[in-house]
Each structure stands twice: as structure tokens, then as C-alpha cells.
Structure 1
Amino acid sequence: MRLKSLKLAGFKSFANPTTFTFKHDITAIVGPNGCGKSNVIDAIRWVLGETSAKQLRGGAMSDVIFAGVEGRAGKSLASVELTFEHTQDESSGIRHALNLYQELTLRRQVTKDGKSDYFINGQRVRRRDVVDVFLGTGLGARSYAVIEQGMIGRIVDSSPMELRSFIEEGAGVSRYQARRDETQKKLDEARDNLERLSDLQGELKKQQRTLMRQAESAKRYQELSDELAKINKEDLLKRIFEAWQYHEHKKTQQVSSSESLNALETVANKAKVELERLSNKVAEGQWLKDDARDKYHNAQMAEQTAQHNFYTLNQELSQADDKIQRLTLIKTEAQDGIAHATKELTKLNEERASIEPSLKVLGDQLTQKQAELKQLQGNWQSIRDDVNTLQAQKNTLENAQKLAESQKSRVLANREKWIKKHNELVLSFESIGKENSADADELTRLAGEIKTLSLRQESLADDDDKDKLDEMTKTVQSLQSSHATLEKRHTALASEYDILHQMVHAKPKAEETSAKADDFSHLTRLKDVVRLSRQGESFAGVLDGFLGFWMDAKIFDDLALKAALAAPSTKDKQASRAIFKTGGGYGVNDSNLIAFGQLFDAPRLKLFDACYLLDEELDEQALSRLSDQITDGRLILTKTGWLIGSFGVIHGSSFGAESSLLSQKAEHSKRLGQLEDELGALEDELEQSEKTLKTHTAQLEALKIAQDEKSAQMAVVLSSLHKVQQAHTTLQAKIQTDAIKRENFAKNKAALDEEKEEIGSELKVLESQIADSIQQLSEHLPRFESAQNTMTAMTKSMDELNAQVKALTDEYQGLQLKNSTLTQALTHTQRLLELAQKNLSQAETDIQAVKDNEKNLTAKLPQLEAAFKDAKAQTAALKIISEEHEAAAKALQLMQVKLQENLTEAHTNFAKAQAEAAQITADTAVGESRLIDLGDEMMRIDEGFNLPSMLADFRAKTPKFKDNTARIDAIKADIAKLGAVNLAAAQELAELEERVSPMDTQINDITESMAKLKDAISAIDEKTKALFLSALDAVNAELNSLFTKVFGGGQASLALIDDENLTKADKWRAGLVLMAQPKGKKNSRLAVLSGGEKTLTALSLIFAIFKQHPAPFCVLDEVDAPLDDANVGRFTSLIHELADSVQFIFISHNKLAMQIADELKGITMPTAGISSLVTVNLEEAEKYIES
């Protein structure tokens, strides 16, 4: 099977439909960075079922769809299709139901919403189907067949379980693992179903027990309810009688109540008329009282108004006097403020005039000093620039001197190193000469030892013993299988034999001798003891028809017969049908007849002595003639089923009793004979098989011991040979290195002499440079120091002048501040003077206005006082009139209240009597209704009940009733003890039992299914273990071979880690660790290997897996990036070696790697963001160039 083509449409940068065809064994995909080469790898992994967008360098699965570029819209769908050919090959094909043809096409497409669809040969399938198709082929989204960028490094650094997954895929374990997972899933589901079913069964059985108790309670409840209903019927009659008595009593009370009610109504009407007359008088007196009270209240309001006006005027006059006093005080304060402000203005003007001359003089002095300071600062800046220039020149000279001295120190150190290297070179040359002869002798010795060990290895590597061991192992396994088959068959036959033997030779149970005379239950039935002879087995069918009716009959001896005859005559008829005696023979001499005694080995019955079997065919006339010749008491049975006697001829089928017992026993006897023969032959065969098996097992153990000894010797020889070869290789390399060192000695010595001359020349130049630097520095220092002193003196003068300027500035600013303060105080005082003058004017105006208002109020005061006095007198007169009318109204109201009380009492008595009458009427109606209800209730219980007839009986004669209260309470107590009763419990119990009964069968079925699933898992585990360990050994052998070839020596291997969490039997399930030791290195830790060494180690592992289990193709993405040219050559040689069995597709930038390809596929990006394909067939290109 091989990859034929890859089609991409709208996938990542492949916006246009692009088809990659793979016609050759090695195809290289090349192109500049960023052109989309790795997208081809992503497409292959994606179509094989990759579900992680992160693994495809995206954030979501929809990111694989072409997103669009400038001038080109994005796609809404991405599609990738792989086509394989020769998929039905016997060796490397795909064995799956979906692989129907020699070509298999796998397609996956995704839409913008991230939904993926899979197709195999155009048929829509699930992702699981895609994975299942390629199980065991080495292909998959993350298998060892597709190596992306960076994956080589991850393989070396992968965890033990990740490394194990590669070997499992290479071993073809994945298909078994999938089957195991599916079987385990079924087992888990079966276990869950069993647990649920067991829980359900337990719960249902609990419910069953509960329902059984509830059914008993419901039965008891029904019994009590029936009894209670009977008693309630009697009690209901009693209540009907009581209700009738109550109704009659209430009818009598109703007549008496009606007469009392009429008398009370007359009294109430009379009191009502008197009350209405008095109420009119009360209303008139109330009106007069209210009118007088209104006039009195109006007079009171007028008095209060006059009083308020008088008091308010007095208050306003008092407030006017207070306000005049406050305004007079404000006027005085304003006059004092004017005087103080005028005095303060005069003082401030005098102080301000005294400051102005001094302020002017200080300003002139400050201006002069500032000008001097500015000039001095300019001179100082110029001097400072000169000093900085001289300082820079001084620093340059000093740095040049230090640099020259540093270089001199370096040259001196180089001279010391040269001396050391020269001495070492001389010593090394002398030691090489001494060691050369000794190494040559050791090399000769090692070559001889290698030859000896190689011959020993060849002798131990003879495969004859291993072939014998394998052949013997297969033979023993075959013998064990055959022996196990024989044992199973023997067990099955022996079991069948025991069962049949018990059925044919069953013995009746021991009989009790103390049984009663009329009790036949202890007697043996005929079918339990009847046994045909060899001769009788031939006629089992016809004998079944004859004896079928009596198979359940009991057999007893003479003692039992006598006991039966002595029993009461009521049992005679029952015993007559079961009486059969055992006794002596009774035969005939006719040669055509066979006595029944010859047909049965047991029992010996009297009946058999008078019966014969005719072993020949007779027609109806012959049968009739023969019946005439038979004497009384004799029976002849033909083999066709006719029974002949003195009574005539009848057929056995007319007995109406069908039985196959004798036929079955005949068949069982025949089968027992067959089983005895088969078991005898089988036991002989088992004995012979066991002897053969023991012999071959002993031979196998001997071969294993010999093979183990040989393997141990081989391991010792290989270890010794490896060590000697390594020592030989190391010594050869050392001799070659020494030879190169001798050749390089003269070159190295000449180079050292040349280096010595260069050091001397450089030292002289540096010493001259140091002397020049010292001289220039001594000439420069006086000028620098003079300029520095001048700048120091000018700095001092400038500091003094700065102090003078600061003092003048502080004094000038102080005077300015004082002048500003006086100006602000002068302004403030002027504002205070203006405010005081304004307040004085306002106070004088307000005082005059208040005095005018006070004069007007004084004039109104007498008038308001007179009005107040008149209102007060009128209020007193009206108060007297109001009190007189109120007294008269109260007297009338008292009379009205008394009459009202009399009327209320009359109404109360009437209402009470009316209520009693209504109550009696209601009680009468209730009694009648209750009587009717009780009658209806009785009619529901007893349809023949007639209430009027019953009442007539009550009137005629008073009945007597028992008191059933105690019994009713007892029954209710019993019902209460039962608690809540489920009346449907019996039906629910029956339904529940129908559900519970089939559950045992279901549980047994599930248990058997689980056992089969566990056996299947065990078989899969055994197969998986064998495949994995076999693949691990094969991969280890290939890995060590490829590693040695790539590195020119060294060793590499995979080993199972020691996982303490695993049992001894499961140690093979542990993860793997990769160990590598390149040639010349002692450490085997992968972490210390270089990038190139890690890459070659990982490639050795991948190619070792391919050698063990070749996948249809291998895709490599820039795995040669960390390799130099030499290692790239080794990498390409590995590809060439495997290209015959594996189709290679690799991405590379390396020209050496490209050279091995049969076809180059170039990926370009003529339009930004859109990849295009260019294909070059190298063979055709070479032919074109040659032509």
C-alpha cells in the first residue's frame, strides 16, 4: 500500500485546489520560509483525524479555512483528500469493512462553524471509522509516520508512556487496544447493569416484603370494616329513632313559642308610639339650645378679636421704642469709627512718605552689583571652558598610557603562554615517540583477541539449537492443547455417563416398615424400578404404550396386600387399581411368544407371568382367531401395539396413557454402552498422551536449560567482544591521532617561533608608546594647573559678589514689602471710613421713620380699648341665655332616654322570643333534614328500607336498642393500630412478583456475559503482551544497529522502567526510557547530548520502528535542520536504506537532502498569502540536461 495523491482546497494558504501526486519512493517538498510547506504536513495530520486546533497551529478548527488576502475573498469550506492504492495487498493492505477496492480515498472537510465531515470512498463516515481503518498500519494524526517541526526533539524528551505509545503503534497493538477498550467498555456497562439490576432486585424484594405485610393488613382491615359496617347499620337505626323523637319535641315547642311572640310584639309597638311623641319635643329644645350656643360662640369670637387688636397695638409700640434705642447705638458707633479712621489715614501717609527715598537708593545699588556679577560670570565661563579642554587632553594622554601598559601586560602574558605551549609541545612529541611502539603491540594483541571472540560468537550463534527449541516448544504446546482437549472431552463424557447411570440404575428410597396398613405413600412406583432386559429394549416403544397407564402405580408385597385387605372397605376401590404381586414364573411353550419375564430385568410381577409378546406381524383375521384360542387370564401383546385376550382384541392407543419412559431408558442404556466404550478408548489415549507430553516436556526443559546456558555464554562473549572492539577502536584512533600530532609538530613549532617574533616586535612598539605618553603628559600638566588656579580665584570673587547682591536684594525686597503693606492698610482704612459714614446716615433715617410710626399707633389705642370692653359685656349676657336652653334640653333628653330604654327592653324581649322561635323552627327543620338524611343513608345500606313505614312503627311501639359504643371503639382502635392501609397491596404484590421472577435469569445472563468479556480481555492482553514484547526486542535490535551505523559506534536501547505501582505480572505495561551512548562518550543521559546527536538518536528510533513495522509512508518536516553536512549524509543514507519498503515525503532546506529525492515539489507564494505548487521530476530533468 502506498500514498497516491493529496488534494487540498481552501486549506490554510492553499486557496486554489492543489493536487500533490506521489509517484516515486522519495519526494522532497522545498520552498522559502513562510510559503506554506508545513501546511502540507498539517493537512495530512488533519485528514487523518487530528482534533486539536493547537496541534495545527491555530486557535479554532475553523482557522484551517483560507481566511482571504487583499484582492482575494476567504473560503467558507476547507477540504483535504488522501488517496491510497494497493490497499488490499496481503502483506501491507488494510483489512477493514470500509476498504472495498484496491484504491481507498479519505476526505475531510470543515465549514466556518467548525463542523467536520469525513468520507471514505465518497461514503460519509464517523471520525472513529477513519481511526479504525488505519489501526495497526502505523498511520494516524499523531503517529510515528508523521514527524512535524520540533517533534524530533519532543520524541527524545518524551515521557516514558509517550515513548511506549510509539512502540505500541509499531507493534500493531492499537487495533487490539481498540478492541480491548471496546470490550472493557462493554464489561463496565455490564457491571453497571448488574449493579443496577442487583440494586433493583434488592429494592424490589424489600418492596415485596413490605407489600406482603401490607396485603395482610389490608385483609385484616377489610374484615374489621365489614364488622364495623354491620354495627354501624344497627347504630344508624338508633340514630333515626333519636332524630324522630327530637323532631317531634321541636314541633311542640314551635307552637308555644308563636303565642309568646305575639304578646311581646304588642308591648313593643305601644312603647314606640310614646317615644316618637317625646322625640319631637326633644328636637325642638335641642334647636333652641343650639341657636343660643351659636350666638354665644360668635360673641366670644368678637371679644377675642378686639382683645387681639388691642394687645397687638401695645406690642408694636413697645417694639418701636426698642428699635429707636438700637438705631441710636448704631449711630454712636458710626461716629466713633469715622474719627478713628481719619486719624489712622494720617499716620499711614506719613510712614509711606518716609520709606520711598531709601527704596530708590537701594534699587540703584542693586542694579550696579548685578551688572558687575554678570560680567564676572562671563569671564569665569571662559576660564572653565579652557580648564575642561585641558582636562580632556590630560585624560586622553593618561588613557593612552594606560592602554599601552595594558597591551604590554597582555603581550607579556602571551609570551608566558608561548613558553608554556612550547614546553608542552616538546614534551608531547617526546611522549608520543615513547608510547608509539607500546600502542602498536597492544593493537596487535587486541586484533587477535577480537578474532578469537568472533569465532566463539559464530560458534555460539548457531541457530540449530534455537530452531530445535522453537520446534520442541511448538510440539509441547500442541501436545498440551491436544491433552487439554482430551481431558475436556473425557470430563464431558464422564459427566454424561454419571448422569445416565444414575437415571438408568436409580434405586428407590428406603421404605419404612412401620407404615400403617392403609397408607401406601411409602411404596415404590413402577416407573422407579422398571428396567428392560437387552431383549426387551428392542420392543421399548410398544411396551411404553402397554404399561404407560400403570407407570405411576405402587408395588407392594404379600404383607402389604394382607394389610390392605384388612383395611376398612371404604378404601378397597382405591387399593384395587394398585395391587400387583411379585411371584414365581408363569410361561408358555409357544416359540412365537416371548414371556414378559424375559423382556424385563425388574421388577418380577405376577402380571408379567400371564403376559407375552408376539414377535411377528398378524392381520386382523389372525388377531381375531388368536383371541379365541387364548385362555382366561392370559394376554398377548403384538409388536404393532395390539393387545389380545379372552375379551377380544384392542389397540394400546385406546388406553389413553402415552409414555416414553421405557424408550428413554432403552436409549439411555444404549448410550451408556457407547459411553463406556468411548471412555475406555479415551482413557487409553489420555494415558498415552500424558506419557508423550511428559517425555517432550522433559526434552523441552533440557533444551531450555541448554539454550539459557548458551545465551549466558553468548552475553559474556558479546560483552567481552564489545569491550575489546571498543578498546581496539579507541587505540586505533589514538595511534592515528599521534601520527597526526607528529606530522603537525614541525608546523606547530614554526608557528610558535613566528609567534615569538611577533610578540617581541609588539612589545618594543608598546614600550615606545608608553614613553611618548609620559613625556606629553609632563609637558601638559603645568598649563592645566595654571588654568585651574585662575578659575579657583575667579570662583572666590564671584562668590563674594553674589553675597553682596543677595544682601542688597533682601534689604530692597524688605522695604518693598513694607511699602506694599502700608498701601494695603491705607486702602482698607479708607473703606472703613466710607462704611462708617454710610451707617451713620442710614441710622438717622431709620430713627425718624420709627418715631413717625409710633405717633400713629398711639392715636389708635383708645378706640381699640373701647371696642374690647363692649365685646366682653355682650359675651357675658349671651352665655346666661345659652345655659338656660341647655338645661331645658337635658331634661327632655332624660325623659327620652328612659322611654328609649323601655322600648329597647321590649324590642330585646321580642327579638329574644323571635330568635328562640326561629331557633325552634330551624331545629325542627334540621331534625327533619337529619331524619331524611339518616333515612337516605340507611337506604344506601339497605335498599328495602322505607322511612315512613319505620316512623309509623316508632309511633306504634317504642323500640329498644343496644349500646354498641364499646364495640365500635374497639374495632376503630384495631383499625387505628393497622395504621395506613394499602388496599391495592394484593394487586401490587402480584405485579411486583411478575417483575422479580425473571430477574435471576437476567442476572445469570449478565454474569455469564461478564465472564466471557473478561476472558476476551485476558486473551487480548496476552496477545498484546506478546506483540509488544516481541516488537520491543525487534526495535531494540534495529535501534542499536542503526545507532551504531549513524554514529560509527556506541550503543542505544529502549528499556522498561521499574514502576513500583505495577505488579510483577504487569511490569510489561510500564513506560519506556531511551538510553543512548555515542561513540567515545561515557554518559548515556539524553539531556547532555547535542542537538544534532538528539536528532540522529530520534531518527534512529523512528527508522527502527519503520523497519519493524513499516507504515505506508513517512512524512518528515525539516528534521535535518540541526544536522551538519556529515550528519545529513548519514540521514540520507538511512532514507535510501528504507525507501524500498517505505514511501518518504520530506520538507527540507538542505541541498544535500534534496539530492536524494526522485521528485521535487516546490511551494511558492507568487501572491501574498496564497501558496502554489511547482513539480520537478529529477530523472526527467537529468535526461533533458543530457540531451
Structure 2
Amino acid sequence: MYLKRLEIQGFKSFAEKTKLEFKPGITLVVGPNGSGKSNIADAIRWVLGEQSVKTLRGAKMDDLIFAGSEERHPLGFAEVSLTIDNTSGTFPLDYHEITVTRRLYRSGESDYLINRTPCRLRDLHQLFMDTGIGREGFSLIGQGKVDEVLSVKPEVRRGLLEETAGIVKYRYKKREAVQKLSETETSLVRLHDLLAELKKQAVPLAEQAAKAKQYKDKQTKLNGLLIGLLLAENEKHKKDLTKLSEQLTNLELEIENLNTQLRYWQSCESEQKLILQKKLEIITAYREKLYQAQLDLEKNESSKKLLQERKISLQTQKEQLEKEQKQLNTEIAYFREKLSELKIERQTCQEKVEKARRELELHEAWLTSETEKEKKQELALEDLKNEHFEFLQAKTQLQNTISNLREQLTVLQAKKEKNIVRLEEITQISNKALTKIAQTEKSISEITSALFSGEQNLKTYEANLLAEQTKLKKQEEKNLFFQKEKAALESRLHLLQEMERDGQGYAYGVRGLLQLKTTGKIKGIMGTVAQIIKVPPAYERAVEVVLGGSLQYIVTLNEQVAQQAISWLKNKQQGRATFLPLDTVKGRKSRGNIPQGPGVIGCLADLITYQPEYNEIISYLLGTTWLVEDLAAAVEIGKITGFRFRLVTPAGEVVNPGGSLSGGSFKTKTGNLLSRKREIAELTQQKKAGEITLTQGLQQAEIFKKAVFNARREWERAQEKIQQLRLQKVEEEGVLASWQTEKKRSNAVMAELEAEIKERALLNKNIISQKAALKERIVTLEQEIELCVEKINTLVQALDHSQGVKLEKNETLTQLRITVATHEAKLATFNEEEKENALRLDKLMNLLNEKYLSRESLIEKDSEIAGEIVTTEQQIVEILKAIKNGENLLENERKIKEDLEVDLLNCTEKIKHFTELLTEKQAEEHQLQLRFSRLETAQKSVEQRLKEQFNLTMEQAGQIGVICTNKSWALSQISDLKTALGKLGEVNPGAIDEYTRLTERLSFLNNQITDLAQAKKRLDLVIEEMDRLMVQRFREAFQCVGIAFQEIFRQLFGGGKAELVLCEPGNLLETGVEVFVQPPGKKTQNLALLSGGERTLTAIALLMAMLKVKPSPFCVLDEIESNLDEANLERFANLLTHFSRQTQFIVISHRKKTMEVGDVLYGVTMQESGVSRLVAVKLAEAQQEAS
């Protein structure tokens, strides 16, 4: 698997669609600062899901879209596509290539696609998880990221190791499982509370459902009788309507016959009108033709007059043209004579020019010959000068060589003396190295002893740290228990508050009215009886038993509010409710007092709390009820008082007036309406107490955390001391090795110096012999230089004589050229003047020709106008004839029109007669239709009553009801049923459906609780397995990366030591990772004290160690080596080449050393301001071409 292709369009400075092809190996991206090369790394990070605009070097997401330049408009979107080879099947997708695309629009919308299929950001993260190439992985190392690896907290640095260990997906799955577990536990608590509350409602709702079923059966019988009476009434209306329908049919036949007669005469009338209308149109047409003929006559007479005037005008124009022709002929004769004179003068001048040119050509030929002879002499002179210069140059080189040899002799003598001094120094260094070796061996022995003692102290501190961590863990477990308990209380409180707000436990109609009270649609509803009283917990059972359904009675401000609420219940079919208006309800008091004794607690109305305005309501409900301690006391007091009062015990046993008793056990607690408010208040207090307990627990946990922090700090100090001792030992061992190496090196240098002294003595002898030979060669060259100077002087004299003669000839040649130019100028003047006169003559001839043509045109037009005048006179005669014929035709049509008007009047009288007869019959029909409509209205009234009272159509009523033939019996039955329904009292009609829904919901909740419990067990197992896998893999990865880090660090630094240390060895799931390094020749230092180059090399070593342990398919490096000097840069380049065998690298750089190791080179340029472009070069092919 490797990165194959990157396509960018509209991203930052890449305005045009840009494609980069990648191959295995190293791909270099280079370019000047500001050209946009780092935008390629940003594009890869962005397409892999990066959400931080700051990381992408922007302020807001819009900054990633090309913003335009001086010559380009801004783009509306940015798109980046990354194609990865998947032939190895690394990704769980059935494709050989995977293309990931991210698109951002300027409106803020964005798209994510995998192989052009839309997906979520979460899908991208999961696809690249634990591959090392995600947005948080170690395969994307940008500017500043290298130093950040060492600067971040140990816990953050752990994230890179987790990516290497491949446990990110396990941590992700664990996080999801923990979240689901928390949601499951919360859901279980809420479901248990909801189940308990629903069970409380089940028993009273079952009783209400049974009562509602009895009410429903009687109501069904009553409805059947009422429907039967309505069906009988409907049948009577049907018979009456049938009889009227027959009468209407006969009358409609008579009306139809009259309509037929009327339509016949109306048709005749229409035909007569149509014929008359056509005659009128014909008469109108004749009139229009006569009018048009008059217009044509006037038009022709006007045209005739106009043509006569044009004929006179043409005659005048013809005379003017004849005058102009005579003038033009005179001018043409003048210019022809002038042209003849100019031709003679031009021929004379032409002969003088030709004579002067012949003389000029003779002088120029002689001058050319002399010039060529002079050039040959100059070439010969130049050759002699070059030869003379070469001799001088050779002499100078020989003299320089002798000077160099003299300097070499001086240098050799100085180096000989220096080597002797250096030999003495090296001997002293060798002796010093022996002394230092002995001292260092003693220091190493002392450090080893101190290291053993420090390791013993470290074990003690580690045990103390584990003990403090155990205390903290126990306190955190307690706090977690408090938090769960608090969550359960809040869940129960929230459930009760929701039930109180939704009116659960109340009848259907009562709930609807309570919602109206909340919305304010009906003002004056004070609440239910259960809402306006506050009962001590000990007396809740007694009050519930006594009041029963009265707890749902609704208290209103006055009687009008109650009537308004009842109307709303009827209109909305929301059931029934009982109302207690404050202005009509009067309280009841016991007649007399019961004897006070040990068993009497008091009047129940006095034992509860309520607002003063509800005195009458409470007295009406509980004014005659007394609370006694138990049933025995109630029976005894009843006997004393003659059973005149209602007596109730706290357990809910009742002695009714008259002596009847009620009591027994309760299946479940039914007092939810009274106890709900009390429980809400109690839970609120418990919640506050729980919050205090939790706060105290959290404070105690903070104390333990501080203790853990102090213990960890002591352990870290001890560990740091041990680490320092270890590093000191390594440093001393390094020093020892250094002095041993120095001893070997000094011995080798001594041998080299002795050999060099002998070699330089031999070289001194050779230089002296070379110097003598060079002096002899210089004497020979001086003789050749003198001979060359004599030849040069001879040639110079010959050239001077030739140039004097040539100068005299040039002056004669100049005079001849002036003469030729003068005559040529005159000739040009004659030619120009002759040409101008010829042109003027041509123009005059053309103008004369045009005048002839114009005269001929005028003659033709004159003939045409004469013809047109004759034609116009003929048309006038024809128009006069047409006018006379049209007047005769118009008179005939007028007579025909008068006959048609008489026939039309006869048809109109017939229509009037039949219209009167039709009106009489239609009036009779209207009376019958009124009677028919009344009967239909009565029938629809029956249907409307069926719809309003029973929500049935007539067809549905006929299917379920029987027509009632005995009306008196039916009315008697209806009266009995209404009486029986009245005795049933208040009924909750929705109780049956509510009880059914409640039963189904209880079953559903039980199933949900079972499913959630099983899910909780599965989630616990998943979390346990994730923890086990993460610990195992992190431990293995930590060990492997630590070994690789040490190896690569030594390779980059040429020695030294590097180590990864866990912050909390006992907590592998959360522990951070510290980095300790010791460059060669230095003590262990804080990372912040390292130089920029050392920090960069350390970070590179750590990142490359991760790549070695878990090779990434590809790695993007953005100028990470910018802080390195040339020597370290070469080490980095070698390391990059080594790792490119298993990992594909895309390197953004401007360092020459890095460029040398690349296989493909992409150059980023900005030829157009603000727009980046690419140039690609394969380095291997380029090197072959260069060679």
C-alpha cells in the first residue's frame, strides 16, 4: 500500500486543478519561500479529516478556498482528492484503489467522499484508525510538529505511542462502550422508577375501566333505541318525497313542451336577425367601396399635378449639366499640354544621372581592391602580435613557476620545524592520557555504588506511591457511587415532575382541563382537590380512602368557568369531570360534636393544610369526617354517636354513617396523587444532601490527589537521581573510552609525523633541480621575442603608406556621390510633378464622364414621367365609372332590407305568447319544489342528528339499528336507561383504553429492563477486553519503540544515550511518557535546554523509531530538517534513504543535501502572483541525460 496520487483544486494558492503522481521511494517538493509548497502538506492533512483551521495555518475555514489575485477571481469551493493503492488489502474495502475526497464551499457546506460515494467524517477517521496515516498519526509531520513532540505533556506524547501500538481503535471502542454503559444504567434507573409509578396507577385504573365498561353497555342500548326512532322518522320523509317527485315529473313534461315551441320561434327570430345583419354588412361594404373610390380619385389627381412639376425641374437640371461639361473640357486641354513639357525636362535630367553614376562605379572598384590588400596586411600583423604575446606569456609562466618553487621550499622548511614541535606535544598528550584513564576508572566504581543505593530508595518511594493511589481509587469509587445515587434521585425527581406536569393519574377529561389551565385558554381553573391540599404523610391513606374520586374534582373560580369547561369537554369529546365552583359550593359541618377521648385524633378537615379561600370546599368534602386511631375505636365512637358521622382510621378503614364498615388490604400504594408533591419535595431535599456529600467526597479526592502528586514527585526525584547517576556512569564510561582512544590516536600521530619529515626532505631536493631547468628555457624565449618585434615594425610602415593614398581617393569619391544625389533629387521632383498632373487629368476625365452619365439619366427620367402622367389620366376615367355602378347596387340592397324587418316583427310576437304560458307553469313548479325542499331539509336534519349524536351516516345507522315501529315503548325504554346511567355517577370513558395501554406499557417496560440488563453485562465484558488488549499492546509497543529510539539516537548523534520512561508504571492505560536524553560529551539535560538542532534530531529519532516499529505506508515531512547543520543533515538524509525501503516519503524541503536523495522532484513556482504551479522532474532520468 502506498500513496499514488494527490489532486488539488481551489485549495489555498492552487487555483487550477493540480495533480501530483507519487511512486514508492522519496518524492521531493521544493520551491522558494512563499511559493505554496507547504500547502501540499496542508492539503493532505485536510483531506484526511483535520478540523483545526489553526493547524492548517488559517484563521477560518474560508481561508482554505482560493481567495483570488490581481488577475483571477476568487473560487467558490476547494477540493482535494487523495488516492491510495490498496492492492495489499490493508483497508477493509473491496477496491484496489481508494480515493478520499473532501470538498468545501464558500457557503460553509462541506462534503466527504470515499470513491466518489458520500460519507461522514466519522467514517474517514475509522478508515485510517491505527494505520499511522490519520490526521493525528505520526505520518504527517509539519512545520513546528517536530519540536512539539518534545514540548507537549507526557500524556499527549502517549497518543503517538498509542497510534504506534495500534490501540486507538480499541480506545475508541472502549469510549463508545463506556458511554453506552452510562446511558444504559441511567435508562435502567428511569425504567424502574417509571415501572413502579405505573404499577401504582394500575389498580384504581382497573376499577375505573370496569365501571366505564358497564356505562358503555347501557349507553350502547340507549343509542340503539335513539337510532331506531331516527330511522323511523327518516322512512316517513322518504315516502312523502316520492309522492312529490311524481307531481314534479308531470309538470316538468308540460314545461319542456312549451320550451320546445319557444325555442322554435326564437330560432326563427335568430335566423331573420342573422339574414338582416348580413344585408346590413353588404350595404356597409358598398358604402366603404364608394368612399374608397372617391379617395383614389383625389389621390390620382394629386399625383398627376406632382409629376408635371417634376418634369419642369428635370429640364432645369439638364441645362446646368451642359454648362459644367464645357468648363471641364477647357481644364483637360490645359493639363495635357503641361504633361508634355514635363516629360522633356525629365529625360534631360535622366541622362546627367547616368553619366555621374558611371564615374562613381570606377572609383569604388579601385577603392575595393585597395581595401582587400590592406586587410591582408593587417591579418599578417595580427598574427605576428599574437605570436609575440604567446612568447611573453610563456616567459611569464616560467617566471611564476620559479617563484612558486621558491615558496614551496620556504613552506617545506616551516612544516619541518612545525612537525618537530608537534611530535613533542603528542608525546606529552600520550603521557596525560595514561593518568586520566586511571582516574576515570576510579570514578566509575564510586558511581556504581551510589546507583545501587538509589535503586533501593526508589523501590520504597514506589510502594508509597502505590499506597496513595489505592486510597485515591477507593475515594473515587465512593464518589462514583454518590454520583450514581444522585443521578437516580434526579431521574426519579424528573419523572415525578413530568408526571405532575402532564397530569398523569387523572382522568382523561381532567388532564385536558389542567392543560388548558397551564396554557391559559380557560381562565379561572384553580386546580384539582389533590393539588390545593397538603396532607401529612401519616394521614394520606385516610384522606385518599375518604375522598376517592373526589380528589380529581376541579375547583373553579365561579359557576361560569365550570360551565365553560363542561362545554369544552362536550365539544372536544374529552369525557366528563366534576367541578366545585367557589361561589356555589357551601361547606358542611357535623351536627353536634363527637365525644373527645383517647381514640379521637380530630376532624379530618382540620388536620390538612390549604389556603383560606378553599374553606367551603374542604368543609363540603371533609367537614363531617373524623379521624380516629383504629377500627375498634371507630366502632365504639360510632355506637356512642348513633353512627351519625363518617369515621376513618389512618390505615384506611371506614365506619360510614348508618353503621356500614369498609376495610381490608391494598395491593399497592394508591395514594400517588396526594403523595407525589410530598415525594417531590423530599427528593429535592435528598438531592441537596447528596450534592453536599458528593462535594465533600470530591474535596477528599482532591486531598488524596495532592498526596499522590507529592508521592509521585518524590518517586520522580528518586528516579531522576538514578537516571542522572546512570547517565553519569555512561558519561564516565564515554570519557574513559575517549581517553583510551586518545592514547591510540597519539601513538598513530607520532608515527605519521616521523614519516612525513623524511618525505619532505626528498621533495626539497627535487624542487631545486626543477628551478635550474626553467631558467635555461627563459633565455631561449627572450631571443625569439626580439625577432618577432622586427617583423611587426616593417608591416606597420607599409600599412601607413597605403592608408594615405586611400584617403585621397575617398575625397574624390565623396564629390561624385554628391553630384549623383543632386541629379537624382531633381529627377525625383520631375517624376513627382508629372505624376500629380496625370492624376489631376484623370480626375477631370472621370468627372466629365460622370456629367455625361447624369445628363443621360435626366433624359430617361423625363421620358418616364411623361409616361406616368398618361397612365394617371387613364386611371381617373376608370374610377369615375366604378363610382356610378356602386351607387346603383346600394339602392337595390336597401329595398331587400326593409322586407326582412317585417318578417322579424312577426317572430317576436310569437315568442312573447309562449313566454307568458311558460312563466305560469314554472310558478306552479316552484311551489312544489319548496315543499320538496322542506321535506329534504327535515330528512337532512335526521341525518345531522345521527352525525352529531352518534357520528353515523344513514347507511351506517341502517346496518347497526332497527327501525322502531312502537314509538311509545321506545321512549319508555330510553327513560329507564337514562335513569340507570345517572345512578352510575361520574365515569372515566377513557379508562378502558388507558388501562389497555397501561398493561401493554408495563409488559413493554419489563422487556426493556431485561434487554438493558443483558446489554449492560455485554458492555462490561467489552470494556474489560478492551482494557486487556490496550495494556498488552501498549507495553509491547513501548518496549520496541524505546529500543529503536536508543538505536536511532546513537546513529544520529554519533553516540550518547536516549530513554523513554513511564510516568505511572502501575497505570498502563493512562500513564504519560517522558523522554530522557544525553548527547555525547554532555550530562543528562532537560529537553528545554537542548539546542534547536539537538531538539530536532531527538524528535526525528523518536518519530523514526515509531516508523521502524510500525512502518507507515507513507510519511509527509514538511521542512523538519530546517534547523540542522550540514553534518547532521547528511545523517538525516542517510536515515531517510534507509527508511524509504519500507515507507514512501513525501518531503517538502529547501535543503540541497535532502534534495540529493530524492527519486522524483516537484518544483512549486508562483510565476503568476498568488497562484502556485508544479514542475516535475525524475532525478534518475535527469542524471542519466546529464552524464
Structure 2 length-normalised TM = 0.41
TM-score (norm 1): 0.41
